[in-house]
Amino acid sequence: MVRKCLAAIAVVGLSVSTASAQDAKTVISNASKAMGVESLNSIHFYGTAQNGNLGQNNNANQPWPMAAMNDYVRAIDFSKATSRATWASYAVPVTGGRATLVVGTPQTQQLITPETTAWAQQLEIWVTPWGFLKGAAANNATVRAQTVNGQRYQTVTWNSPFKSPGGQAYRLVGYINSQNFVERVQTWVENPVFGDMLVEAEYTQYRDNNGLKYPAQIVQKRGGWPTFEMYVLGAHANPASLQALLTPTPPPAGRGGGPGGAGRAGGPGGAPAPTSEKLAEGVFRINGAYNALAVEFADHIVLFEPGPQNEARALAIIAETKKVIPNKPIRYGVISHHHFDHTSGLPAVVAEGITIVTPEVNRTFLMNALSGPRTLAPDSQSKSGKKPVIEGFKGDRRVFQDSTRTFELHVIQGLPHADGNVVGYLPKEKILVYADMFNLPTAEAPVPDPPVVGTGVFADNIDRLKLDVERIMSVHSLNPDRLTSVADIKASLGRK
């Protein structure tokens, strides 16, 4: 079925009868001639690029962080809807030190094939200027004249045969300028935070290679900021070496599994971890791949980290919280910080009617992201019809308090990882909850050299705030899984 859909994109030209469709056929034909696409079946281009990390910016209102992709090479076979890109990446160790070449990781090679990729990956073929024209010629495109920022375009629209989880066809819109070059292509893809997320690719500074027109500069944006930028040094139509260019590189011998990281204690066949545990009267750790902290008040509940990972995890956290603290509404959900691995379940939080609490620096971004349409992959938020309620608190402190309990939020100062990162503190119970600042060191390096920057910032802030802490809970489970202490944190820094 997938191959049939791709064939519809790549090969089959659909006859049309309306005047609008006939105009579209002419526009597409003229652009295909101008760009050398008529006899183009495959392409090879290369240059230098950089990749943006969606949802991991250091400040919610700033662009995604970019990483260099040296010696970037990409080949596309439009007839088979297959693409392969390779590059070399250099990474700075999180503990500091000199950047080193990342070898043999999945990130150094991107494969797009009909059998293994969904539209989120397939669009990388069809939003290219050449792929867009081929898809438009095959899929009953329409056209309209449009002026954008004072420039006249022929705006071509067509629907992919691929269907979204909500049953809609994915739509592509291309802007063809007065030179008959594709200058910009837009499509939309489902995203847990943004909903129907705009993907926009811009193509400028066109060059020529024996009739093939290719852009010297490519910028793709997701969520409003670049996630891919490339300076194209050269491009070749129908390369003779296509098969070699598309052949994947096998993984290094002995390499297996996914990216490393702290996991929960126990291995295959061990007893499953409890879904929650009581830390104090009315205080529960909700256990999982990402932990949450449920705090009971007289007539409501406050949840710290209510929506990590995805909708399913958020729903599980909410359900377990209601189980351990029954008959009280979850009124507030505090996020540790705005990164998407900690917020991709927020649509379920919105659907529950929970007020999201975060420092003011994150409020506008989250409000805009969670207020967009969510039609491609309807979720609990879109089905509920509820709108996000977000409380952005000003200053470095927010306190929840009634006659039964006090729960303090403190904004961590000086943390490179994320502005607006907060910790939760229960002064009576002497419990502190945090995310992304400390992991237990290894036996081989009990005092990392150089010290981990985030851990040092964490320890300094505990001292600055004069927090009297006995137990510290991490949103990411430590390995082995347990609560930690100030003594553990300072020991990893070589401090007493």
Q: Tens digits of per-residue pLDDT, 205-252?
A: 999 999 999 999 999 999 999 999 999 999 999 999 999 999 988 765
State residue 460 phi and psi, 5-degree precision. -65, -35
Residue 412 CB: number of other CB atoms within 10 A? 26
Q: Maximum Cα–Cα distance for the chain, whole Å? A: 80
pLDDT of residue 257: 35
Q: Please, are residues 425 and 467 in contact by the beta-carbon 8 Å criterion?
A: yes
Closest CA to 435 of 362, 365, 360, 341: 341
Cα distance between residue 55 and residue 247, in whole Å? 31
Q: Are residues 296 and 173 in the same domain?
A: no
Three-class secondary structure of residue 66 per DSSP: strand
Q: Are residues 296 and 433 in the same domain?
A: yes
Q: Are residues 203 and 296 in the same domain?
A: no
Range of the domain at 159: 2-246
Cα distance between residue 382 and residue 387, in whole Å? 9
Asked if residue 218 is part of any domain, the answer here is yes
Q: How would you classify the pairing of strands 169-176 and 66-77?
A: unpaired
Burial (Cβ within 10 Å: 0-12, 13-18, ≥19) of residue 427: middle
Q: Are residues 288 and 228 in the same domain?
A: no
How far does CA 444 lie from the centroid of its chain?
33
CA dihedral 417, 294, 343, 411 (to 10 degrees): -30
For 458, residues 6+ apart whose C-beta sits below 8 A from its C-beta are 412, 415, 434, 437, 438, 489
* DSSP track, 67-104: EEEEEEEEEEETTTTEEEEEEEEEE--TT----EEE-S
pLDDT of residue 270: 46
Asked if residue 262 is part of any domain, the answer here is no
Give the 3-state secondary structure of 122-142.
HHHHHCCHHHHHHHHHHCCCE
Q: What tokens appear for 243 in the block?
A: 């098969």
Asked if residue 266 is part of any domain, the answer here is no
Last residue of a domain, one of 227, 246, 265: 246
For 267, residues 6+ apart whose C-beta sits below 8 A from its C-beta are none
Q: Are residues 345 and 231 in the same domain?
A: no
- The tally of domains found in the chain comes to 2
Q: What is the CATH number of the domain that holds 480?
A: 3.60.15.10
Q: Are residues 415 and 476 in the same domain?
A: yes
Asked if residue 339 is part of any domain, the answer here is yes
Last residue of a domain, one of 246, 265, 287: 246
Write out residues in the chain with pLDDT < 70, as ranges. Answer: 1-22, 91-107, 251-273
Last residue of a domain, one of 224, 246, 268: 246
Q: What is the CATH number of the domain that holds 155?
A: 2.50.20
Q: Are residues 282 and 237 in the same domain?
A: no
pTM (2 decimals)? Answer: 0.90
Q: Are residues 228 and 177 in the same domain?
A: yes
Three-class secondary structure of residue 147 per DSSP: strand
Burial (Cβ within 10 Å: 0-12, 13-18, ≥19) of residue 28: buried
Cα distance between residue 47 and residue 73, in whole Å? 7
Q: Are residues 237 and 283 in the same domain?
A: no
Q: Where are the strands (E) in 238-394, listed by range?
A: 276-280, 283-286, 292-296, 301-304, 330-334, 355-359, 390-393
State residue 128 phi and psi, 5-degree precision. -65, 155
pLDDT of residue 227: 97
Q: Are residues 13 and 54 in the same domain?
A: yes
3-state helix vs strand vs coil in the chain, percent to 5: 20, 35, 40
